[in-house]
Amino acid sequence: MAKSMEQNYRRFLDPVVLAKIGNLEMIARFVVEGFLVGLHKSPYHGFSVEFAEYRQYNPGDPPKAIDWKVFARTDRFYVKEFEEETNLRSYIMLDKSASMGFLNDGRISKLEYGRFFAAALAYLMVKQKDAVGLLTFDEKPDQFVPSSMTKTQLMELLKALDRTKCTGKTKIDSTFPALAERLKKRGLVVIISDLLDDPDRIMNSLKHFRHKGNEVIVFHILDPAELSFDFKKEAQFVDMETGEKLPIQPWMVRDEYRKSISKFFDTIKYRCQEYGIDYNLITTDKLYDISLLAYLHKRKMLY
């Protein structure tokens, strides 16, 4: 039975399963609720992400505050005593450049993976009574939703994510400084991007957020094929942002490609550590629990 329950909640952390749902609000709720169930299982002990503690029910407490799952286990009424507003202000920045539209083997594109993850993060942040805003970008800033901890503003953020489509080129060196200027109050900046740009330009741009006093966590999203380059047939590769075409026999360049991209990741990771930026490399075949846990680790360090 325990194994069956675990499989049930973990399937709602699978991006391919979530893509079949369609409704972004439901996707965010399923991811977060599935994650919270898993959080109480090994190895994710020790996080209190929704409330400070339980206390026994007292006359006058609203019935909706009763935790019925606890009642079923203990036959006693307990209510969740919520923490005060934390005043953590977060900004989710989602890359929507054309390269984010890449997908292999019909799974899920980087943008779709990123949209689901951004929606789940926003839902979790509001659930924690934190303020969250959204900025989408390609070669220039696009949609902007001011940070807020209200359910109404969360719905606006989810609507903006629902409208987000792949367009434009990656131009981080001009986009990130412009985004940094939009942030009037310091907070936690969450960047979701494939970071397909020059490492020096990326890091020089990320420094703008740090110089303005923001904490930064980067989620570097790639398709698994972009790591392995395990294509079996000769093919014509097309740059999704420029349209440039290049015929390639993948097996002839695979080893060199892997060396180059490994060096790229190592450079970004090392430079992020140098500037006090959290860096997380994730692929679109991974469940969302590890990424959400990385966010919680970062949040916990801020207190």
Within the chain, all domains assigned CATH 3.40.50.410 are found at 89-301
Output the pLDDT for position 120: 94
- DSSP summary character for residue 66: B
Residue 59 pLDDT grade (very low, low, confident, very high; cuts 50, 70, 90) = low
Q: Is the dihedral of CA 86, 188, 118, 3 positive or negative?
A: negative
pLDDT at 173 over 90: no
6-17: per-residue pLDDT in tens? 455 566 677 888
Average pLDDT (256-267) is 88
- Token pair, residue 146, equals 């001011």
pLDDT at 235 over 70: no
pLDDT at 201 over 80: yes
Output the pLDDT for position 229: 76
- Token pair, residue 134, equals 């959204």
Spatial CA neighbour of 114 closest among 293, 262, 299, 283: 283
User: CATH assignment of 89-301, given 3.40.50.1980, 3.40.50.410, 3.40.50.620, 3.90.1150.10?
Assistant: 3.40.50.410
pLDDT at 26 over 70: yes
Name residue, tokens 């390269």: 99
Please list the alpha-helical segments (H only) found in the chain.
2-10, 15-19, 24-39, 68-74, 110-127, 151-163, 172-182, 199-211, 224-228, 250-274, 289-301
Rounded Cα distance, 80 and 62, in Å: 11
Residue 73 pLDDT grade (very low, low, confident, very high; cuts 50, 70, 90) = low
Residue 33 pLDDT grade (very low, low, confident, very high; cuts 50, 70, 90) = confident
Report helix, strand and coil shares of the chain as percent, to nearest 5. Answer: 50, 20, 35
Residues 206, 134 contacting (CB under 8 angstroms): no
Residue 49 pLDDT grade (very low, low, confident, very high; cuts 50, 70, 90) = very low
Tell me the pTM: 0.79
Residue 85 pLDDT grade (very low, low, confident, very high; cuts 50, 70, 90) = very low
pLDDT greater at residue 54 or residue 245: 245
